[in-house]
């Protein structure tokens, strides 16, 4: 895969980002997010398949958590006390794989095999095939219950790791999320964060035209969660939310995003849920992401 | 093999053995936790809760969440025993069992309490008669049906030692001990336990039907028909070798189970026979949504009795 947006073409020391002061961290995370977006576009171009809209909307939150906050690295992949990042919206595997590749879990070149026959990079992630993947997601509404179990395990074992679960917004129409939301609040799981990629679009239409989610922040608050509603494409705002005081509760970050963020002709258009760009559109997209 | 005489009179609720064994396992291994759905009483977990209050995770009436939470606990290094009434565990959380447990290859023991028609009068909504068919269809999930308390306990030992994704029925309907006294272990994974060496007919049974098959063998013996009884406590993977041996050495097989015929033990046996050694067989199971009645009444209603098994056997050898 071709990488060309690092300053002076020199890859960032991504392992060091977590230790930078907050302002500098947010700036570097923006560079990593741009890189992830370029990789996603190229992966989908090569595979001629994928979920480009959601990949591009969730990228900033994924990158901020993985590189800016959580203890996630190939060196600690089997450490029982490692932080857990769970991509419940498993159809956005391309974004997750790009993050893991940049973090060194596997060679960036492997991304070219995305969805190819017998590739470890299945259309939805598999923990047994790819280090760094914590849950075999794909069917929606699975990640948060698993995250609740992980957060309980963290407290029971005394190892005190963090669990971050990334859900779609349309995904919240699955009732299992709200079952898990009740358990998390009941057990005061302040080591659990759910990030809702609130791009307001689902596969077939706008969420509010399908099964309304608003007022979404109120829903989480009424379930007993601490809530932060932010610009989910802003790494500084994400950093602040991820590290804010949780008041002894699980935290829901409503990340207001643009589906397709970063590519003008894809942004906020329902048809780009899993549409594949033409060769010309790929070039245009990469130009916009340069 | 020693011939089984008449079946013992004393009967047991397997949940009692389950509860005692779970506590013993948890005493020895801090990784063991119980996860349930407001089923502390019905899963017989009161004593476990008193002994290990922090290690009982009751998520409330939320089966999808329950199985997902178990997967998260397994991810975090624990060995969850998920305890819930069979119909709701197998039916409501099927996709979680598939994706979060089996496909994710977690060492989780899914304990289907009060399976089959144990909740007799409560009706078909509360009967777990499709569970074996549904669970058999999921790759990388072992399906166990211990027939008595000794088998239940031994299966739990194996479950913890193996670290496998497992679906296990834990019976509520009182059953006699069917484990012959001379067995070193009451349960061997993947092996059918054979009682008797009769060459006229093989009675293949699982769970509550095993003691009834043993009684049927006694009835047949009095008529000069010699039967062997195959106790299938591992439904998946099926012990094909013992099934085929019985097919070769007898005139036919009767398969009896407290569940639907479509996709259950009978279907597994039929596939094995058809591919390897076509043989005459009769299949007894639950053939429709049950009318109102107790567990015993319903077993009788569907012919899942010693008499029903013996009748089917006579048709094979006649």
For CATH 3.40.50.920, list the domain ranges present in chain B: 193-317
Tens-place pLDDT, residues B139-177: 999 999 999 999 999 999 999 999 999 999 999 999 999
**Does pLDDT of A253 surpass 60?**
yes
In eight-state DSSP terms, residue A159 is -
How close is the nearest chain B Cα to the Cα of A278, in Å? 33
Q: Does B54 touch chain A (CB under 8 A)?
A: yes
All residues of chain B having their beta carbon less than 8 Å from the beta carbon of residue A176 are 62, 64-65, 68, 96
Record: contact A142-B103, CB cut-off 8 A? no
Hunting for tokens 């690092």 — which residue is that? A6
Contact yes or no for A179 and B76 at CB 8 A: no
* Beta bridge mates, B79: B32
Percent of chain A with pLDDT over 70: 98
B2 confidence band (pLDDT: 50, 70, 90): very low
A128-150 pLDDT, tens digit each: 999 999 999 999 999 999 999 99
Q: Distance from CA of residue A25 to its chain's centroid?
A: 18
Best CA proximity match to B55, nearest among A219, A232, A155: A155
Q: Which residues of A touch B74 (CB under 8 A)?
A: 149
How many CB atoms are closer than 10 A to CB B236? Answer: 20
The pLDDT of residue A12: 84
Class of B11-176 per CATH? alpha beta
* pLDDT-derived band at B3, boundaries 50, 70, 90: very low
- How far is Cα B260 from Cα B129, in angstroms, rounded to an integer? 6
Q: Could you tell me the two tokens for B281?
A: 């067989």
Q: What ipTM did this prediction achieve? A: 0.96
Residue A171 gets which letter from DSSP?
A: G
> Residue B136: which pLDDT band, with cuts at 50, 70 and 90?
very high
Q: Three-state DSSP class for B203?
A: strand
Determine how β-strand A192-198 pairs with β-strand A251-256.
parallel
Work out the pLDDT band at B7, boundaries 50, 70, 90. Answer: confident
Percentage of chain A beyond pLDDT 90 is: 95
Portions of chain B given CATH number 3.40.50.970? 11-176
Q: Is the pLDDT of residue B59 over 80?
A: yes
What architecture is domain B193-317?
A: 3-Layer(aba) Sandwich (3.40)
Mutate to test the interface with A, among B35, B61, B65 (most CBs of A within 10 A): B65
Contact between B76 and A138 using a beta-carbon 8 Å cutoff? no
- Cβ contact (<8 Å) for B60 and A141? no
Q: Does the distance separating the beta carbons of A175 and B71 come in below 8 Å? A: no
**From the CB of residue A12, how many other CB atoms can be counted at a distance below 10 Å?**
16
**Long-range Cβ contacts of B41-48 (<8 Å, 24+ apart):** B42/B85, B42/B113, B42/B114, B43/B15, B43/B83, B43/B84, B43/B111, B43/B113, B44/B15, B44/B16, B44/B18, B44/B19, B44/B113, B45/B19, B45/B83, B47/B19, B47/B20, B47/B23, B48/B19, B48/B22, B48/B23
B103 and A126: CB-CB below 8 Å? yes
Helix axes A176-186, B63-75, angle to 10 degrees: 60
Sheet holding B227-231, edge to edge: B193-195, B227-231, B201-205, B253-260, B281-286
Band (A2; pLDDT cuts 50, 70, 90): low
| Closest by Cα among B179, B211, B197, B218 to B313 | B218
pLDDT of A288 higher than 60:
yes
Mean local confidence (pLDDT), B261-280: 98
**Strand B227-231 relative to strand B166-170, pairing:** unpaired
What is the average per-residue pLDDT within B209-225? Answer: 98
CA B72: distance to chain centroid? 26
Q: Which residue of A has its CA nearest to B96?
A: A142
Section A206-227 average pLDDT: 98
Q: What percent of chain B has pLDDT over 90?
A: 96
Out of A144, A149, A175, the one facing B73 most closely (by C-beta) is A149
pLDDT of A5 reads 63
Q: A211 burial class (0-12, 13-18, 19+ CB within 10 angstroms)?
A: exposed
Confidence at residue A10, expressed as pLDDT on a 0 to 100 scale: 75
Q: Nearest chain B residue to A125 by CA: give it.
A: B104
The reported pLDDT for the residue numbered A6 is 73
Element spanning A69, H or E: none
User: Taking 90 as the threshold, does the pLDDT of residue B1 lie above it?
Assistant: no
Average pLDDT over residues B233-256: 98
DSSP state of A15: G
Q: Does residue A3 carry a pLDDT above 60?
A: no
- The torsion of the CA quartet B68, B72, B78, B81, rounded to 10 degrees, works out to 0
The verdict on B102 touching A (C-beta cutoff 8 Å) is no
Rounded CA-CA distance A272/A201 in Å is 10
Averaged over B221-242, what is the pLDDT?
A: 98
Q: Could you identify the residue written with the tokens 């209603």?
A: B301
Contact A175 B64 (CB under 8 A): yes
Q: Could you tell me the domains of chain A?
A: 7-288 (3.40.50.970)
Question: Quick one: closest CA in B to A83, which residue?
Answer: B76
Confidence of residue B5 (pLDDT cuts 50, 70, 90): low
The CA distance from A213 to A210, in Å, is 9
Cis upstream peptide for B237 (omega within 30°): yes
Enter the tokens of residue B168.
């296990």
Per-position DSSP letters for B50-64, written without gaps between them: HH-GGGEEE--S-HH
Structure tokens at B237: 């993977």
């Amino acid at each position: 895969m071709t990488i060309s947006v690092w300053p002076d073409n020199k890859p960032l020391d991504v392992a060091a980002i977590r230790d930078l002061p907050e302002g500098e961290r947010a700036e570097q995370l923006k560079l990593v997010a741009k890189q992830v977006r370029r990789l996603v576009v190229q992966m989908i171009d090569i595979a001629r398949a994928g979920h480009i809209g959601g990949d591009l909307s969730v990228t900033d939150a994924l990158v901020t958590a993985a590189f800016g906050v959580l203890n996630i690295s190939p060196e600690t992949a089997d450490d029982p006390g490692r932080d857990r990042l769970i991509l419940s919206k498993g159809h956005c595997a391309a974004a997750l794989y790009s993050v893991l590749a940049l973090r060194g879990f596997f060679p960036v070149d492997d991304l070219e095999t995305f969805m190819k026959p017998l590739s470890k990079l299945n259309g939805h992630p598999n923990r047994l095939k790819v280090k760094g993947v914590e849950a075999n997601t794909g069917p929606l509404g699975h990640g948060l219950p698993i995250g609740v179990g992980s957060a309980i395990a963290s407290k029971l074992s005394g190892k005190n790791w963090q669990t971050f679960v990334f859900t779609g917004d349309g995904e919240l129409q699955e009732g299992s999320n709200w079952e898990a939301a009740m358990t998390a609040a009941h057990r005061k799981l302040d080591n659990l964060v759910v990030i809702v990629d609130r791009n307001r679009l689902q596969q077939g239409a706008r969420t509010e035209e399908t099964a309304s989610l608003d007022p979404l922040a109120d829903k989480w608050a009424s379930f007993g969660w601490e809530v932060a509603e932010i610009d989910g494409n802003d790494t500084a705002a994400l950093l602040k939310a991820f590290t804010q005081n949780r008041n002894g509760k699980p935290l829901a970050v409503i990340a207001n995003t643009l589906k397709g963020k970063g590519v003008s002709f894809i942004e906020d258009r329902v048809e780009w849920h899993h549409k594949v760009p033409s060769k010309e559109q790929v070039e245009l997209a990469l130009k916009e992401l340069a | 093999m020693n011939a089984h005489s008449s079946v013992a009179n004393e009967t047991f609720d397997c949940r009692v053995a389950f509860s005692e064994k779970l506590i013993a396992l948890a005493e020895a291994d801090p990784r063991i936790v119980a996860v349930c759905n407001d089923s502390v009483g019905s899963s017989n977990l009161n004593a476990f809760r008193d002994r290990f209050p922090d290690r009982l995770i009751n998520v409330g009436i939320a089966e999808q969440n329950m199985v997902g939470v178990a997967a998260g606990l397994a991810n975090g290094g624990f060995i969850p025993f998920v305890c819930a009434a069979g119909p709701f565990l197998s039916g409501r959380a099927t996709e979680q069992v598939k994706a979060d447990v089996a496909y994710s290859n977690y060492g989780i023991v899914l304990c289907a309490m009060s399976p089959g028609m144990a909740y007799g009068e409560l009706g078909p909504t509360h009967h777990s008669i499709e569970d074996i068919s549904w669970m058999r269809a999921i790759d990388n999930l072992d399906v166990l049906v211990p027939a008595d308390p000794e088998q239940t306990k031994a299966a739990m030992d194996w479950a913890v030692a193996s670290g496998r994704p497992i679906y296990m029925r834990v019976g509520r309907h009182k059953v006699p001990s069917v484990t012959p006294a001379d067995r070193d272990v009451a349960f061997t994974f993947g092996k059918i336990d054979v009682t008797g060496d009769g060459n006229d007919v093989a009675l293949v049974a699982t769970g509550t039907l095993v003691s009834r098959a043993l009684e049927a063998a006694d009835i047949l013996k009095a008529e000069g028909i010699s039967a062997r009884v195959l106790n299938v406590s591992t439904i998946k993977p099926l012990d094909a070798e013992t099934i085929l041996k019985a097919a070769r050495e007898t005139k036919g097989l009767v398969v009896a189970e407290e569940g639907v015929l479509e996709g259950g033990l009978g279907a597994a046996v039929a596939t094995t026979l058809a591919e390897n050694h076509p043989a005459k067989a009769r299949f007894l199971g639950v053939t429709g949504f049950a009318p109102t009645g107790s567990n015993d009444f319903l077993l009788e209603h569907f012919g899942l009795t010693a008499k029903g098994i013996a009748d089917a056997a006579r048709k094979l050898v006649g």
